[in-house]
Amino acid sequence: MKILVVEDEELLRENIIDYLKSEGNVCDIAANFDAADEKIALYDYDCILLDLTLPDGDGLKLLQLLKKQDRGEGVIIITARGSVDQRIEGLALGADDYLVKPFHLSELSARVMAVVRRRWFSGNDLVVFNELSIDIKSKIVKVNAELISLTKKEFDLLVYFMSNRSKVISKSALVTHIWGDHADMADSFDFVYTHMKNLRRKLVDAGCKDYFHSIYGVGYKFADL
Amino acid sequence: MKLFTAYNRVLLITGSLGLLAIGYLFYHTLGNYLDRQIDNYLVEELLEVKDYAAKKENFPAHVAFEDLVIEYHRIPKLKRKRHFGDTVFYNAKKKLSETGRYLEEDLVMASETYRVKIIASKIAHIDQAKSIFLVIILPVFGLLLLLLLVSHYMIKRIWLPFRQLLINLKSFNLNQEQDFVQVPTSIAEFRELNDAIVDISQRVRSDYRQIKLFTENASHEMMTPIAVINAKLDTMLQSSDLDEEQSRNLADLYRATAKLTKLNQSLLLLVKIDNNLLNDRAQLNFKEMVAEKLVYFQEFTQRRNISVDTELETHALLMNRYLADILLDNLIGNAVRHNYEGGNIVVKLDRKSFSVSNTGIEGALDSTVVFERFYKSPSSEGMGLGLAIVKQIVELHQFRISYDYQGGRHNFVVSF
């Protein structure tokens, strides 16, 4: 996938790009409004990550520009300003998603995947990994041909891992992904462990290989090693 | 004591004392003056007696004197010079005792020594003195009363702007952008006070705005570095040669970063509430919201065997939806978080109030500071902003919140 990262904070930008590239994406960078404007005029992307507070302009203007040209790019706003109003304004202007800093790279990656899937494969929203296949839209999970039933949280976790294949996802990121603002309610991390345990058991029971690997209590990795 | 009372008290005390002193002095002087008049009259009468005695070798008869009583006594020898004094005598004509003034003198007649005593009634003079006294004192007393009335009216009128200033000061709210109202007055001191208050209110408001702006900016500025830390942690986590100790360190760093994020978000939320940025309200089905929130927390309560009892009446509230959600999150979340295994939570909603009551590990919290920012019980892992946010939300919607600890239960009650 081809992704444009519009972010003025260099350190953050580098990390985002490294992470997305390591997942096999092609990334372009724009450190300010003008550079982003230029890139958008020259190339097509699958997804654009857009910081709203740029040194030389308002990111929302860039969004308006994109929508005016009726382009197909998915847009995810990434911003430090987490106000409800801005979120609503951004989504009303046609952004596909809204991510408030600070966020986990795994979360960003999952959101990018989701946006791209929604935008480009809206009819055929099937994610397949070896014997495992997930229909994201109708929330159906199959191992080989066997249907397995997952709770909503287990399903969300599985999709999250499928969007970050071969990556280590921290428990912190998992907790935030599932419980959002209420992440601190689950801060013993025991809750994640329980959900992970149940998810793994269900998959293995259905004859799926256990692709989850625990990394010293800090996180999990979903990979076919 | 009110200003008017204090002022009147001084005025009344000095007025009455002054009136008494003046009255006494006046009456005394007047009496003396009238006595001198009688004395002169008595002297003249005595001279007449002397003349009479010198010519006729005898004393004039009593009846020869109008309004006077005259007495002669023979005495062994000359002793006394002329002597005046007050006395009470029997007025034979009027047939009653009267106060009077007397003059005594010894004199020689036909080689005998006599003492002559002439007594004049003072009644007429006393009446005269009384009239004069009343004529003078009554108007003075009247003037004093008038003065009191005028001062009462004037104080009320003159201090009117001051009362208005007080009312304005009491209704002054730092959070409302409405400026301090100038009170029209022609009194220089009040104008000065007015200006000083307007000046200070503007300065306080500006300082407060600066602090809020600072908090907001600081929190926003912090978000980007935290985002960098988070991203770096995520990157480090991908390293293939991570050993156990490094992993543990990473986990701790994640936890600390999450806490920092939460702190920042809470501060920003407080600033937003302070700045009235979350002011769009709607009629909310509060009962439904509470029920939904309880379903959300079910996962956490079930896991720790915490029983939840509810008494929910349908009640609609005019609130900001986002803030109502946070209010429920914080109150119910706390009840779950600070509970013990197998504990209990009671959530009640009726038309007057919403209450959350829970068993807890901690004993009673200090109810005077429980809603203050950064207050937390020793065992709490939070930052102590949850209840401060609850209080802000409650105050923004003109509700009230109270906390008490009874029978091992923490009770939080929001009264609408």
Which domain CATH number covers B111?
3.30.450
Which of B229, B245, B274 lies at the terminal end of a domain, its last residue?
A: B274
State what percent of residues in chain A have pLDDT above 90.
29
Residue in the block written with tokens 């096999």: A24
B260 and B291 both lie in a single domain:
no
| Residue range(s) defining the domain that contains residue B229 | 190-274
Residue B227 to residue A167, Cβ atoms within 8 A: no
B69 and B117 both lie in a single domain:
yes
* Structure confidence at residue B65 (pLDDT): 66
Helix (H) or strand (E) holding B86: strand B83-91
Residues with Cβ within 8 Å of B11's Cβ and at least 6 positions away in sequence, in order, are: B147, B148, B151
- Minimum distance, in Å, between the CA of residue B158 and any CA atom of chain A: 51
B197 and B257 both lie in a single domain:
yes
8 A C-beta contact, residue A6 and residue A49: yes
DSSP notation for B317-366: EEE-HHHHHHHHHHHHHHHHHT--TT-EEEEEE-SSEEEEEEE-SS----
For the residues B376-399, what does the mean pLDDT come to?
86
pLDDT for B80 beyond 80: no
Distance (Å, whole) CA A112 – CA A130: 22
- Minimum distance, in Å, between the CA of residue B322 and any CA atom of chain A: 8
Tell me how far CA of residue B232 lies from CA of B80, B252, B397, in angstroms.
129, 14, 41
Residue A102 to residue B233, Cβ atoms within 8 A: no
Q: Is residue B250 part of a domain?
A: yes
pLDDT for B383 beyond 90: no
B298 and B325 both lie in a single domain:
yes
Q: Is residue B313 part of a domain?
A: yes
For the residues B73-82, what does the mean pLDDT come to?
80
Using one digit for the tens of pLDDT, what is the confidence trace for B211-240? 888 888 888 788 888 989 989 999 888 887
First to last CA, chain B: 37
B236 and B359 both lie in a single domain:
no
Cβ of residue A218 closer than 8 Å to a chain B Cβ: yes
B259 and B312 both lie in a single domain:
no
Which of B274, B308, B342 lies at the terminal end of a domain, its last residue?
A: B274
Dihedral in degrees, nearest 10, Cα atoms A137, A138, A139, A141? -110
The residues facing A47 across adjacent strands are A3, A74
Q: Is residue B399 part of a domain?
A: yes
B310 and B372 both lie in a single domain:
yes
Chain A residues closer than 8 Å to B236 by CB? none
B253 and B314 both lie in a single domain:
no
The helix/strand/coil state of B50 is: helix
Tell me how far CA of residue B144 lies from CA of B5, B131, B149, B215, in angstroms.
16, 20, 9, 62
Domain tally for chain B?
3
Distance (Å, whole) CA B60 – CA B52: 7
Bond prior to B378 in cis (omega within 30° of 0): no
Chain A residues closer than 8 Å to B265 by CB? 82, 181
Q: Is residue B319 part of a domain?
A: yes
Interface test with A, best of B237, B271, B332 (most A CBs within 10 A): B237
B55 and B137 both lie in a single domain:
yes
For the residues B321-346, what does the mean pLDDT come to?
91
Distance (Å, whole) CA B154 – CA B187: 13
Q: Is residue B396 part of a domain?
A: yes
Q: Is residue B162 part of a domain?
A: no
Measured in degrees and rounded to the nearest 5, phi and psi for residue B163 equal -60, -40
Task: Provide the sign of the torsion angle of the four alpha carbons B239, B241, B244, B249, taken in this order.
Answer: negative
pLDDT for B180 beyond 90: no
Question: How high is the mean pLDDT of chain B?
Answer: 86
B289 and B261 both lie in a single domain:
no
* Structure confidence at residue A47 (pLDDT): 92
Q: Is residue B183 part of a domain?
A: no
* Structure confidence at residue A29 (pLDDT): 92
Distance (Å, whole) CA B17 – CA B393: 61
Using one digit for the tens of pLDDT, what is the confidence trace for B274-318? 877 777 889 999 999 999 999 988 888 888 899 999 999 998 899
8 A C-beta contact, residue B211 and residue B218: no
* Structure confidence at residue A56 (pLDDT): 87
Residues with Cβ within 8 Å of B262's Cβ and at least 6 positions away in sequence, in order, are: A183, A184, B383
Helices marked H in B159-243 — which ranges?
A: 160-170, 188-237
Q: Is residue B163 part of a domain?
A: no
- Which residue type sits at B389? I
Residue B230 to residue A80, Cβ atoms within 8 A: no
pLDDT for B411 beyond 90: yes
Distance (Å, whole) CA A87 – CA A77: 9
The residues facing B73 across adjacent strands are B115
8 A C-beta contact, residue B354 and residue B348: yes
Structure-token pair, residue A206: 């259905």
B340 and B217 both lie in a single domain:
no
Q: With b meaning 16 or more CB within 10 Å and e meaning fewer, what string describes A6-20? A: bbbbeebbbbbbebb
Using one digit for the tens of pLDDT, what is the confidence trace for B17-29? 988 898 889 888 9
B259 and B298 both lie in a single domain:
no
Interface test with B, best of A52, A151, A184 (most B CBs within 10 A): A184
For chain A, list residues with pLDDT below 50.
none
Distance (Å, whole) CA A170 – CA A164: 11
State what percent of residues in chain B have pLDDT above 70.
98
Query: A211-215 long-range contacts, Cβ below 8 Å, gap at least 24?
Result: A211/A129, A211/A132, A212/A161, A215/A168, A215/B237, A215/B242, A215/B247
Using one digit for the tens of pLDDT, what is the confidence trace for B109-132? 777 888 888 888 888 788 888 888
Distance (Å, whole) CA B107 – CA B114: 5
- Delineate the domains of chain A, giving CATH numbers in brackets: 2-120 (3.40.50.2300), 129-222 (1.10.10.10)
Closest CA to A88 of A78, A80, A98, A79: A98
The complex scores an ipTM of 0.85
Q: From the CA atom positions of chain A, what is the Rg in Å? A: 18
Which of B248, B274, B300 lies at the terminal end of a domain, its last residue?
A: B274
